[in-house]
Amino acid sequence: MIRSIALLLALAIPLLSGCEKGTITMEQDKDREEWIQLFDGESLNGWIPKIRGEEAGSDSRRTFRVEDGVIKVDYSEYESFDGQFGHLFYETPFSHYRLNVLYRFTGEQLPDGPGWAYRNSGLMLHGQAPETMGIDQDFPISIEVQLLGGNGQDERTTANLCTPGTHVEMDGALETRHCISASSPTFHGDEWVEVEVVVLGDSLIAHAVEGDPVLAYQKPQVGGGNVDGHDPAVKIDGTLLALGTISLQSESHPVEFKRVELMNLSGCMDPRASNYRWWYEHSDPGTCVYD
C-alpha cells in the first residue's frame, strides 16, 4: 500500500549516482487526505499579482481574473505585451507539499510576445515574496515548473524545469542549464492537463504529468542569471531554497487554471497528537496539539 503512486514513483527515480531508490510506504487513505484549495473557484482571495512595471498588488489591466470558475490569464485590456511579464502569488509560503494544478492554453498570443512564450506559462516554486521584487523585475527568483502547449505539429514537452536566478543538482552535480526538458508527452489544442509537483524542502522536487513522473532533481538553490531588475541583496548565490512562494505566470499567451490545490506535507508527526497526519514528510513539532 502506498500513499501516492506519483509520489512513490517520483522518489524512486535515482537522483544521485550510486544512491538507492526511495521506498516510501504508508497506509493509503485517499478519502482522508486534506487538500487546501488555494483557488476557491470564485475569486482571487489570497492571491497577490505582480506585473512588471507595477508595484506588487497592482494589476491595472486585470491580467489575472476569475471567470466561469477558472483563473484566467487575459490580455483583452492590453494594446501590446511590451515585456510585461506577470505572476500571481499565493500569500502563504510553503516548504514541503504536493501541488496539483489543472491548466490549459486558449486563444492567441499577443503579437509582440516572445516566440518562446507561445503557449508558455509556469508554476513558480520556492520563490521570493512579491514585495521584494523590483518594479521592473521580470521573473521572481524561483524554481519554475514550465508549462508548455503544442503547436499542433512538433513535440513540445510540459512540466519542464527552468531556473530564473536559481540552480539545482542532478546526478550529484550542479546543473546550470536554464531549462531542462521533462519526459512528458506533448499536449496540443485546448485540453486540460494535470500537473502534480512534490516538493520536499531543499532536498527534492519531482514533477508528474497526468499521474506519470517526468522529472526530478535535488538541492534547489539561488544562483545563475536569467532574471533581471532584481535587488542584488535578495539574490545570495549558493543559498539553498527550503521554502518560498508559489505563483502562476503570465508570459503573453492566454492560459487558464481550473484547479490549484495543495497538500501540506509539513506538520505534527507525533501519532499521540490530535493533529497528526499520516502523510506528513517534514516534522514541525511546534504545531502539535494534545487533547
Instruction: Quick: pLDDT tens for 46-64.
Output: 999 999 999 999 999 999 9
Pairing of strands 266-267, 282-283: parallel
Kindly give, in sequence order, each residue whose CB lies less than 8 Å from that of residue 222, ignoring residues fewer than 6 positions away.
141, 165, 166, 167, 235, 236, 237, 238, 239, 241
Return the amino acid letter for 36: I
**CB contact at 8 A, 268 and 277:** yes
> Please, what are the domains in the chain?
34-287 (2.60.120.560)
pLDDT-above-70 percentage for the chain: 89
**Chain centroid, CA 246 distance in Å:** 6
pTM: 0.91
Q: In the structure grid, which three cell numbers stand for residue 281, read together?
A: 514528510
**pLDDT over 70 (residue 14):** no
Instruction: Quick: pLDDT tens for 186-219.
Output: 999 999 999 999 999 999 999 999 989 999 999 9
Give the span between the Cα atoms of 232 and 10, in whole angstroms: 34
**pLDDT over 50 (residue 153):** yes
Query: For residues 33 and 3, which has the higher predicted lDDT (pLDDT)?
Result: 33
Return the amino acid letter for 219: K
Pairing of strands 143-148, 86-90: unpaired
The predicted structure's pLDDT at residue 33 = 78
From the number of C-beta atoms within 10 Å of its C-beta (0-12, 13-18, 19+), residue 189 rates as exposed
Q: What is the mean pLDDT of residues 19-37?
A: 55
Instruction: Quick: pLDDT tens for 222-270.
Output: 999 999 999 999 999 999 999 999 999 999 999 999 999 999 999 999 9
**CB contact at 8 A, 82 and 232:** no
Give the span between the Cα atoms of 88 and 71, in whole angstroms: 10
Q: What is the mean pLDDT of residues 119-135?
A: 98
- Residue 65, strand partner residues: 72
82: left (phi over 0), alpha (psi -120 to 50) or beta: left
Give the span between the Cα atoms of 159 and 182, in whole angstroms: 6
The predicted structure's pLDDT at residue 138 = 97
The predicted structure's pLDDT at residue 122 = 98
**pLDDT over 70 (residue 15):** no
Instruction: Quick: pLDDT tens for 57-103.
Output: 999 999 999 999 999 999 999 999 999 999 999 999 999 999 999 99
Q: What is the mean pLDDT of residues 20-25?
A: 36
Query: In the predicted model, what is the mean pLDDT of the chain?
Result: 90
**Given pLDDT bands bounded at 50, 70 and 90, which one contains residue 32?**
low
